[in-house]
Amino acid sequence: MAIVRMYNVGFGDAFLVTVPRRGRPWRMLVDCGVHMHGAGDHTLESIVEDIIDTVSADSDGPPRIDVVVATHRHRDHIAGFDNERWHDVEVGEVWLPWVEDPEDSDAVALRNRQQAAALNLHTHFAADGDGDVADFVLNSLSNDDAMWVLQNGFAGSPERRYISAQGAKAHPLPGVRGGCVYFLGPPRDPRNLAAMDPPKAQRWLGLSAAGGGSAGGEVFPGFTVPAADFPQRYPHLAVSDKLLASFREEPVDTLTAASLLDRAVNNTSVMFLLQVGDALLLFPGDAQWGAWQPLLDDVDVRSLLTRTTLYKISHHGSHNGTPVEMAHEVLGGVTSLLSVRPIERWAHIPKEELVASLVTPPRHVVSSVFVDGEAPVTGVRCHPAGLWKEVELET
Amino acid sequence: MMRAMAAAEEAARYPEPDRRPIQVFAFDPMVARLSGQETTTISVPYEPLRPGPSGELIQVIDYDSVAGCYYEPVNLDDPRVLLQNGLPPTERDPRFHQQMVYAVVSALLENFERALGRRFRWRGEKRLRAFPHAFLGRNALFDPDMDGTLQFGYFRADEKNPGRNLPGQTVFTCLSHDIIVHEATHALVHRLRERYKEPTNIDVYAFHEGFADAVALFQHFTLPDIVDRYIQQNRTDLTARTPLVDLAEQFGEGSGMGRALRSALGEAPDPSLINRTFEPHRRGSILVAAIFDGFFTAYQTAIADLLRIATAGSGVLPEGALHPDLVRRVSLEARTAAQRILTMCIRSFQYLPPVDVTFSDFLRSIVTADRDLYPSDEDGLRAALIEGFRRRGIYPSMVTSLADEALSWPDASDRGLPPIDRDVVNALVLDTAVGFRERRGEEEQATNAVFDPDWAAAKLHQYARANLDKLGLAGPGRLKVDGFHAAFRHGSNGQLRVDVVIRYLHSVPPDVQKKFGAALGGVAMRGGSTVVADATGRVRHVITKAVPTDPDAIGATDGGVARLRGLRQWVAQFDGHDLLAPWIQAESRLVQSLNFGRIDSAV
């Protein structure tokens, strides 16, 4: 048997995977964080506390988690690690995407590019008073304290494993009988790296550095005609004020740059398929299209994916988190976990069509959010105060 | 009154000029500086102008939204300006900027008219309004929703990587020949096919972008002295990287890209690249590369004999400068081939469907239109173009081979259509004939119409209603006559060829549209037909895009159902790629994420 507990963090991810065995159960924590805009009904502290309390009850010794996975550096996936309590938790292994490897020069270069882009974009939006987009970008700015814990913290001197895609090759999972793991992402193949590249500076610098500092009338001194006089002097050239006002509208591309960066970081997600007996649990982090493509193109990986029994819906159910092909053709009768709190401004996360496809029987979707009067589902256990839901899987 | 008459009498003593020479930057100020003042004088059709310049089809209005003021409009009819072929090229005088925008757009319009075989008119007799300094930003755009305006931005060159510009210098997109042509071509394509602003398949916007780029590049080849120079410089090799085959160099370098914005050369031919390319500008670049592959091949073929003559049969050019006569002759061949291919591309519009264009439709329309005039393809231009498309993986759909006649749109004679109403055909032909008046001019605009367009539209609507099935317009929904005209052209045999073209637009009923609304991301489901007839009214070709007959029928297999399925697939695919999709309104997501608002791709 394997149990997956999905915490109701809000707009974010926190999953505790448990494989019961004689003595202390095997525990794996996949992500722990929430988005600035998506705080749930429970504080992140209370969730961290519950995780640690749960694993503390496993034995008389110090609390222990066998594997901690931080799929990627977005706040909605790691913010919870910025917490003193983790110092006392013993961890066996920490899995991080290869882009976090401090000794890999490619990784350092890529991370620096992403970080520089995030900082620049954030400064730009904050200066413009565009707070919403600034917060959006902030999600991409790394949380240094949380990253420090993941890279250097925890008790028990855990080994850090920097994960990259290894195709349909099984890797041992010590401590789990009949268990193994397939590492599916992030890709390291240079052909697929573009999906992780941050937006090129010139796309948006045009709006800030290059755009500012040119006050009116300075461009062509001596040639100006005041707006009020012009229609009188040249009536044949008169145009409506509405048209002139439209020139000042901000093009949509500030959001584009922010979305590009968001995707770039999402595509660094550790994607893995955990096998426990007959159960195959797919955790793709927030992978978006660029990261899925190589998997769907690989025949072996594709056939492996068709055997998935539990699917953590990527990127909180967004349009481009789960390729249509994946939902329609690859996945079979899976149970899907949807960790998201609907947010008004992002009305299309989760995407209706995707959810609709994943609830067609015999498939079903378990959502992290509690609805009053929610009918109980067999195989799903709920925390009495709505802190989490648990799915039990036959192995 | 008396004075006006006297002035008119006075003017009548001099013959009216045909052309107006105007000085412009051949490419942009940066290239001009690097090559030693590369400016040129282009000649555009004469029309009397008011300050702006404000003419019959184009009006330049220099409003700067940053400064909130206007700039003094240029008066090209002022004798002091006329004496020097317009103001000399300079970045400092906004009036020269206005002059350049007017000149480049006028030259482009003339090229389109020549290819289309009829006088060009904007919808509702409106004028194209261009704003040379509309806003601050690294962009220029055509805005179809704001009454079709061209808006050019200006910006400070990148501080860190300004290319061959001064860091922080002001770069004006309205001084880039290529950007002006690119944006104006968007406007022209929009005039010819309004519904191509609806992204109904992966190719529609790529077609818009690629076509605009191709036209901008081919316009380079209308400048004889410039072509001469680069032919001499690169010893007849046109595929060398020169401003001739690059697009918007100053813009690209000034934006910190370290190179021109785009290029005709493209990447090495790879037929599978097109399947992996979704972004409209990039996909459009594949189209451009395909067209230019064809052009380069045609050019090499055309100059082979000249090279042999010049080299006593060896075909290998000697060291040193080329003989100026050879350069002139080679340059002429280059310009002829460029003009011919550009004309082919523009003429394809006669056959393009009213909605939902694909690269395949474009290729088939080019071939059909060109075969009309040059049935035998003696100089091999068409073959070169087809091969260029094939090498870039642009394959025509629903054809049995890449042979000329297989690529042409099928003949409509077996559809059993009755001829089009004689009176309407006559009216359209007469209208086009009368349209060839001597010159343009604002006051000439209101000439007496030859016929009442509403009458013709009603007649043509009647014709369609009577022949729905045969015109491919069956199925529920509303039918509209989208446009009609006659076109005159000269064929290779010197004969005048007259075609009558009618476009029908077919919108699905609102309830069906609503039913699929979300799945289609705000894209309207439309069909339609382009009907081409000869001067007797006999229908020669019908190019259709069907609408679904019964969208509820599961097993339905008609063309419309297939199109609906294709549209849904495209929207799903688009969602997968579009970064903005999660963050914006679902009902209009496609329309919001795709528009002509950017000269450059964001990805």
Closest CA–CA distance from residue B259 to any residue of chain A (Å): 13
Asked whether the beta carbons of A82 and A143 are under 8 A apart, the reply is yes
- Model pTM score: 0.77
Q: Please report residues of B whose CB lies closer than 8 A to that of A344.
A: none
DSSP A135-166: HHHHTTS--HHHHHHHHH-SBS-PEEEEE---
Residue at token pair 């010197």: B494
Asked whether the beta carbons of A332 and A304 are under 8 A apart, the reply is no
Token code pair at residue B433: 């004939």
Long-range contacts made by residues B447-454, C-beta under 8 angstroms, separation at least 24?
Answer: B451/B427
Starting at the edge strand that comes first in sequence, how are the strands of the sheet with A364-367 ordered? A170-172, A179-185, A271-276, A279-283, A310-312, A335-338, A364-367
Nearest chain B residue to A203 by CA: give it.
B602
In a domain, B33, yes or no: yes
pLDDT of residue B599: 57
Identify the three-state secondary structure at position B535: coil
Mean pLDDT for A339-358 is 79
User: Do strands B149-156 and B128-136 pair parallel, antiparallel, or not at all (unpaired)?
Assistant: parallel
Closest CA–CA distance from residue B152 to any residue of chain A (Å): 10
In a domain, B31, yes or no: yes
Asked whether the beta carbons of A229 and B73 are under 8 A apart, the reply is no
Domain count, chain B: 3
Under 8 Å CB pairs connecting chains A and B tally to 173
Closest CA–CA distance from residue B97 to any residue of chain A (Å): 11
pLDDT of residue A247: 80
Mean pLDDT for B509-525 is 76
Nearest chain A residue to B578 by CA: give it.
A320
pLDDT of residue A211: 43
Confidence of residue A142 (pLDDT cuts 50, 70, 90): low
**Of the candidates B481, B482, B476, the residue with the CA atom closest to the CA atom of residue B509:** B476
Mean pLDDT for B472-487 is 89
In a domain, A52, yes or no: yes
Based on the fold, state whether residues B43 and B160 are members of the same structural domain: yes
In a domain, A340, yes or no: no
Amino acid at A121: L
Asked whether the beta carbons of B470 and B417 are under 8 A apart, the reply is yes
Q: B577 touching A, CB under 8 A?
A: yes
**Of the candidates A327, A342, A341, A337, the residue with the CA atom closest to the CA atom of residue A380:** A337
Nearest to B577 among A219, A320, A353 (CB): A320
Question: Which of A136, A205, A241, A247 is the best substitution to test chain B (most B C-beta atoms within 10 A)?
Answer: A247
Based on the fold, state whether residues B252 and B392 are members of the same structural domain: yes
Nearest chain A residue to B258 by CA: give it.
A202
In a domain, A160, yes or no: yes
Q: Please report residues of B whose CB lies closer than 8 A to that of A251.
A: 137, 139, 597-598
Residue at token pair 């400048």: B223
pLDDT of residue A207: 43
Q: What are phi and psi of B147, to 5 degrees?
A: 65, 20
Token code pair at residue B183: 């944006």
pLDDT tens sequence across B299-320: 999 999 999 999 888 888 888 8
pLDDT of residue A206: 42
pLDDT of residue B560: 79
Report whether pLDDT(A192) > 50: yes
Mean pLDDT for A137-156 is 84
Its domain, for residue A57, covers 2-204+252-271+365-393
pLDDT of residue A251: 52
CA distance A390 to A368: 10
pLDDT of residue A386: 87
Based on the fold, state whether residues B331 and B424 are members of the same structural domain: no
Q: Do A236 and B50 touch (CB under 8 A)?
A: yes
CA distance B340 to B294: 11
Q: CATH number, domain at B59? A: 3.10.170.10
Q: What are phi and psi of B135, to 5 degrees?
A: -155, 170
Report DSSP state, residue A342.
Answer: -
Token code pair at residue B362: 């474009």
pLDDT of residue B551: 55
- Cβ-based neighbour number of residue A223 at 10 Å: 17
Q: Do B578 and A320 touch (CB under 8 A)?
A: yes
In a domain, B2, yes or no: no
Confidence of residue B2 (pLDDT cuts 50, 70, 90): low
In a domain, A91, yes or no: yes
Residues with Cβ within 8 Å of residue A361, at least 6 apart in sequence: none
Q: Across chain A, what does the average pLDDT equal?
A: 84
pLDDT of residue A82: 92
Confidence of residue B418 (pLDDT cuts 50, 70, 90): very high
Q: Do B68 and A227 touch (CB under 8 A)?
A: yes
Q: What percent of chain A has pLDDT over 90?
A: 44
Nearest to A324 among B65, B135, B576 (CB): B576
Q: B259 touching A, CB under 8 A?
A: no
The span from the first CA to the last CA of chain B, in angstroms, equals: 61
Higher-confidence position of A184 and A133: A184
Q: Please report residues of A whose CB lies closer than 8 A to that of B603.
A: 260
Higher-confidence position of B381 and B560: B381
Its domain, for residue B526, covers 413-436+450-593
Asked which of B155, B176, B192 is the last residue of a domain, the reply is B192
Based on the fold, state whether residues B277 and B166 are members of the same structural domain: no
Long-range contacts made by residues A327-332, C-beta under 8 angstroms, separation at least 24?
Answer: A327/A354, A327/A357, A327/A358, A328/A357, A330/A296, A330/A302, A330/A305, A330/A306, A331/A305, A331/A306, A331/A358, A331/A363, A332/A306, A332/A307, A332/A308
CA distance A93 to A86: 14
Based on the fold, state whether residues B419 and B393 are members of the same structural domain: no
Closest CA–CA distance from residue A188 to any residue of chain B (Å): 19
Based on the fold, state whether residues B243 and B292 are members of the same structural domain: yes
Higher-confidence position of B143 and A63: A63
Based on the fold, state whether residues B421 and B337 are members of the same structural domain: no
pLDDT of residue B440: 67
pLDDT of residue A255: 64
In a domain, B8, yes or no: no
Residues with Cβ within 8 Å of residue A207, at least 6 apart in sequence: A124, A253, A254, B137
Based on the fold, state whether residues B124 and B262 are members of the same structural domain: no
Based on the fold, state whether residues B420 and B405 are members of the same structural domain: no
Domain count, chain A: 1
Confidence of residue A70 (pLDDT cuts 50, 70, 90): very high
Report whether pLDDT(A124) > 80: no
Based on the fold, state whether residues B239 and B340 are members of the same structural domain: yes
Residues with Cβ within 8 Å of residue A124, at least 6 apart in sequence: A204, A207, A208, A254
In a domain, B4, yes or no: no
Nearest to A320 among B65, B581, B592 (CB): B581
Of these ranges, A186-190, A259-263, A264-268, A310-314, the one predicted with the greatest mean pLDDT is A310-314
User: Do strands B526-534 and B539-545 pair parallel, antiparallel, or not at all (unpaired)?
Assistant: antiparallel
Higher-confidence position of A193 and A394: A394
Nearest to A239 among B61, B64, B573 (CB): B61
Report DSSP state, residue A343.
Answer: B
Q: Do A202 and B138 touch (CB under 8 A)?
A: yes
Question: Which of B56, B96, B136, B594 is the best substitution to test chain A (most A C-beta atoms within 10 A)?
Answer: B136
Confidence of residue A33 (pLDDT cuts 50, 70, 90): very high
Q: Do A239 and B129 touch (CB under 8 A)?
A: yes
Q: Please report residues of A whose CB lies closer than 8 A to that of B147.
A: 243
Q: How far lies B510's CA from each of B198, B513, B515, B516, B557, in Å? A: 17, 5, 9, 10, 22
Q: CATH number, domain at B367? A: 1.10.390
CA distance B532 to B541: 5
Report whether pLDDT(B384) > 60: yes
Residue at token pair 């019959």: B56
Q: How far lies B388's CA from each of A33, B270, B377, in Å? A: 52, 11, 16
Based on the fold, state whether residues B487 and B430 are members of the same structural domain: yes
CA distance B36 to B150: 30
Q: What are phi and psi of A382, to 5 degrees?
A: -115, 145
Residue at token pair 């091969």: B387
Nearest to A217 among B67, B578, B583 (CB): B67
Q: Please report residues of A whose CB lies closer than 8 A to that of B282.
A: none
Query: Residues 229-258, chain B: which have Cβ within 8 Å of A?
Result: 255-257
In a domain, B12, yes or no: no
Q: Please report residues of B whose CB lies closer than 8 A to that of A227.
A: 63, 68-70
Higher-confidence position of B250 and A54: A54
Confidence of residue A254 (pLDDT cuts 50, 70, 90): low
Residues with Cβ within 8 Å of residue A56, at least 6 apart in sequence: A62, A63
Q: Across chain B, what does the average pLDDT equal?
A: 86
Buried b (16+ CB within 10 A) or exposed e, B427-450: bbbebbeebeeeebebeeeeeeeb
Confidence of residue B602 (pLDDT cuts 50, 70, 90): very low
Query: Residues 20-79, chain B: which have Cβ within 8 Å of A?
Result: 50-52, 54, 59, 61, 63-73
Q: Tell me the helices (H) and strands (E) count for chain A, helix number first.
A: 13, 16
Report whether pLDDT(B442) > 50: yes
Based on the fold, state whether residues B376 and B392 are members of the same structural domain: yes
Nearest chain B residue to A210 by CA: give it.
B156
Q: Do A260 and B602 touch (CB under 8 A)?
A: yes
pLDDT tens sequence across A193-208: 666 665 554 444 444 4
Q: Please report residues of B whose CB lies closer than 8 A to that of A124.
A: none
Higher-confidence position of B196 and B510: B196
Query: Residues 519-558, chain B: which have Cβ within 8 Å of A?
Result: 519
Asked whether the beta carbons of A86 and A155 are under 8 A apart, the reply is no
Confidence of residue B578 (pLDDT cuts 50, 70, 90): low
Q: Do A236 and B156 touch (CB under 8 A)?
A: no
Q: Do B69 and A217 touch (CB under 8 A)?
A: yes
In a domain, B442, yes or no: no
The whole-angstrom distance between residue B513's C-alpha and the CA centroid of its chain comes to 30
ipTM summary value: 0.82
Mean pLDDT for B13-32 is 90
Nearest to A216 among B67, B518, B586 (CB): B67
CA distance B270 to B127: 42
Asked whether the beta carbons of A122 and A141 are under 8 A apart, the reply is yes
Nearest chain B residue to A266 by CA: give it.
B579
